[in-house]
Every structure is written in structure tokens, then in C-alpha cells.
Amino acid sequence: MMFTNIWYVAEESDTIKDQPVKVKILGRDLVLFRDENGKAVCLSSVCPHRGSDLSMGKCTSDGTISCPFHAWHFDGSGACTKIPSNEDSTGNIPDAARVDSYPTEEKYGYIWVFLGDEIENATPILDIPEYDDPEWRHVTHAVTWNCNQHWAKEADLDHVHLPIVHGIGFGGENPLRPPEHTVELREDGGFETEIIGKPDITSGKWLELRDTRSTVTSVFKYFIPGFTSRGQVAVGGADSGIYNTFYQFTTPIDEENTRMYYTFFRNFMMEPENDLEHLRRNCRNVYQDKSLAEQMMPKRAPDVPTYPQIGGELVDKLIGVYWDLLQDLRSKGWQIDRTELEALDKVGDYRTIPSPARREQGPEKWVYGEVPRVAATKNKQRDVA
Ligand SMILES: [Fe+2]
């Protein structure tokens, strides 16, 4: 279950230098490169001429990318600017010699790409105030999880697993039961909750941060762009002002694989020699979740989660709110129709994610059609207690 009309993290900024880099997102091949001004460009990587992979080509001095097969040049807008084998090339470029170009923004150490054709209706990239604030220091990590994006995401949205998988208890009579919490829906389509726990710090340098009897408040926020989770954990105790604040960005490679990007901030132990401990503590949780998520069944997420059929009290509200949000995105007509797309792929009808330019230029200007999407339905109002 994958969605268009979302801003995704496409790659870490540092990775894109002077040669093209291939990325796969939403099951489609894309190429990232920099134009003559250094601006990040993201194009569909399938050449409209003979279907070659543009990412195997070269960046040229005029800021275009040249196809590895016949050296057609494509600029940042996706337009073909040169066909070297045509004698007087500028006057001899067919109208349909163009590929989808997706809007990019370079923010917070990442290249973000908008994959869709309705940018005006989409939620803009979130603010990350810690990034440029000298009070905070950060470390990053990126890893591919061999599971669908929703099983990966649930690791961040599930409170009940915290004591069981990570040993992060809630205190109270039943330390396995998350305390009562409400989930707030925000204007931007995201949601958030605060939860109070009493986890033990049992080892390492962070032991000195907190008296083990004190409670810890954790605020979890969820954003549609990047399918981002933000967790802010007061590791020094509820009123300490000492936080481990993490951002997790989720990029669906395809229906069964997910690229996970992490930026972990801290506002304590600012010396660089503490970076490794900061990364180690956070990554320990990441890899515990990853090993579970990669074995979960089914491999593909169904459109409707199966567990509410079990009945009874769910305890953790975040998961339910997340699935309501997915339902909302589907009702907008943004979900890729995977059954139909796979049928088209099987008979050699290649489709691309439609870019904003498709609507301006009309469908006849494109060699490849667009991915089929689940039809929009009337918007369902979400509400949460
Ligand atoms: Fe977890």
C-alpha cells in the first residue's frame, strides 16, 4: 500500500555529488543528480526513447544528464535538450522526448522529493527547528528494512512493545501497560500524543543524567511528509529539559522494502566523543524493531489492518489513528492501485509516477502513461477520543 502526492526523503544530501545516483521509490526507478547550479534534480530514470536507465548515464557540463544508450540529454525540467545523432539537434527534438521531473527541496541534510501531480494539495515538508539550533547536536543513520513501510512505521507508533522489545517500562502497577493518553489530530493531517513513563536507564554514560525514580515524559508526533515520526524523550526526567529527540523518515522502496532514515538530536553531552554512544543507544532500538518487522506477515500491508477483528481493547491508540490517516490518503485518490499496476508491468506497459507537469501538458505528450491509482472517495472525517 503506497501513496503518491507525498514529500519523501529521497537520499542523504552528501550522497549526491557530480554523478547520477539511482534510487527506487514507490516501486519506480528514479535518478538524482545536480544541475549546473548545484540544485538537486529528480527525474524518472527510464528514457522515453528506448527505456534505458538514465542513472547509468553521465552528468554533463550544461547541467543535463545524458542517456547511456544514445546520449540524449535531459535537463532538470525533464525536457530533452539534445539528440546528438540528429544533425541539427536543437530543431529536431520530438515533443514526447521528456521524462517526469519531480520537485525537490534540500533540507535537514536530505534531498526531499515530491512524488505526485497535486503539489498544491499536499502537506509541505515539516519544520525541524533543532537542525540549525546550536543548542542541539545530531547523528544520523540510514538502513533498508526488508518489510513494507507500514510494518516498519508501526515500530515507532506502538507504545505497548516498548517494555517488551526494548525494556523501556512504564512504571505503575502494570509496567507493561501504557498510561492513559489521548491522541490529538493536527491541522496538517498529522497527530501527536504525550506519554509518561518510568523507564530505567540501566547502563552506559546516560546513567548520570537522571535519578532512576523520576518519571520521563515522551512526546510522539507524526507527520505526513516523509511519513515522519518525531519522538522527544526527556531522558533527564520530566522537567529536566534534557532530551533525546529523534526523527525517523520512511521512504517506501516498493511494496516489500523500505528505506529508513534517522536523525537523532540531543541537547546534552554535546562533545563529539559522545556521538557514538548517542548513535548506539538509538540504533539498538532500531535494529530490535527491524528484526521483528522483517519477519512479519503478510509481506504486503493490506488496505485495512487485520487486527481490529480480534476485538477487545486496543490500548495503544496511535496505531488506529495511523490507519485512519492511510484511509484518508486513499480517499483522496492518492494510493497506487498495485493490482492494476502489476498487471500492466507484466504485459510490458511501463508506468511512471505523474509529475506536476503532466496536468499542464496533457497525457499525449508522454511516452509512458501514469501509474493507476485507487479512485477517490468522499472524504471521511477522522475523529479521536
Ligand atoms: Fe520499537
User: Do 142 and 101 belong to one domain?
Assistant: no
Tell me if 13 sits within 8 A of 262, measured CB to CB.
Answer: no
Ligand 1 centre and the CA of 272: distance in Å? 26
pLDDT in the model for residue 202: 65
Q: How far apart are CA 11 and CA 377, in angstroms?
A: 33
Ligand 1 centre and the CA of 155: distance in Å? 5
Q: For position 106, which CATH number holds?
A: 2.102.10.10
Ligand 1 centre and the CA of 178: distance in Å? 14
User: Do 26 and 60 belong to one domain?
Assistant: yes
User: Do 145 and 55 belong to one domain?
Assistant: no
Considering 280, 299, 326, which residue would you say is the last residue of a domain? 326
User: Do 165 and 24 belong to one domain?
Assistant: no
- CA nearest to 360, candidates 29, 119, 4, 122: 119
* Domain contains 255: yes
Ligand 1 centre and the CA of 293: distance in Å? 10
* Domain contains 185: yes
* Domain contains 382: no
Ligand 1 centre and the CA of 166: distance in Å? 7
User: Do 66 and 143 belong to one domain?
Assistant: no
Q: What residue type is 77 in one-letter code?
A: S
Ligand 1 centre and the CA of 77: distance in Å? 40
Ligand 1 centre and the CA of 148: distance in Å? 16
* Domain contains 384: no
Ligand 1 centre and the CA of 156: distance in Å? 6
Which residues lie at CB < 5 A from ion ligand 1? Answer: 155, 289
Ligand 1 centre and the CA of 289: distance in Å? 5
Q: How far apart are CA 144 and CA 35, in angstroms?
A: 28
* Domain contains 235: yes
pLDDT in the model for residue 118: 95
User: Do 168 and 111 belong to one domain?
Assistant: no
How would you write the pLDDT of the chain (385 residues) with one tens digit per residue?
999 999 999 999 999 999 999 999 999 999 999 999 999 999 999 999 999 999 999 999 999 999 999 999 999 999 999 999 886 655 688 888 999 999 999 999 999 999 999 999 999 999 999 999 999 999 999 999 999 999 999 888 988 898 899 988 887 788 888 888 889 999 999 999 998 877 666 677 777 787 766 788 889 999 999 999 999 998 888 888 999 999 999 999 999 999 999 999 999 999 999 999 999 999 999 999 999 999 999 999 999 876 656 666 766 788 889 999 999 999 999 999 999 999 999 999 999 999 999 988 877 789 999 999 999 997 655 554 4
User: Do 280 and 251 belong to one domain?
Assistant: yes
Q: How far apart are CA 187 and CA 184, in angstroms?
A: 10
* Domain contains 335: no
Question: Can you list the pairs that 128-137 forms with residues at least 24 positions away whose Cβ atoms lie under 8 Å?
Answer: 128/247, 128/263, 130/245, 130/265, 131/263, 135/267, 136/245, 136/265, 136/266, 136/267, 137/265, 137/266, 137/267, 137/270, 137/272, 137/275
pLDDT in the model for residue 385: 41
List alpha helices for 246-303, DSSP H: 275-293
Ligand 1 centre and the CA of 158: distance in Å? 7
Considering 86, 118, 150, which residue would you say is the last residue of a domain? 118
User: Do 181 and 276 belong to one domain?
Assistant: yes
Residue 153 structural domain: 137-326
Q: What is the pTM of this model?
A: 0.94
User: Do 191 and 87 belong to one domain?
Assistant: no
Q: How far apart are CA 362 and CA 98, in angstroms?
A: 13
User: Do 206 and 63 belong to one domain?
Assistant: no
Ligand 1 centre and the CA of 162: distance in Å? 6
Q: How far apart are CA 221 and CA 157, in angstroms?
A: 9
User: Do 235 and 312 belong to one domain?
Assistant: yes
* Domain contains 294: yes
User: Do 150 and 283 belong to one domain?
Assistant: yes
Cell triple for residue 93?
A: 527534438
Ligand 1 centre and the CA of 311: distance in Å? 23
| DSSP-derived secondary structure for 71-97 | --EE-TTSBEEE-TTSTTGGG---TT-
Domain count, the chain: 2
* Domain contains 377: no
Ligand 1 centre and the CA of 324: distance in Å? 21
Cell triple for residue 129?
A: 527547528
Local structure of residue 348 (DSSP, 8 states) = T
Considering 71, 87, 118, which residue would you say is the last residue of a domain? 118
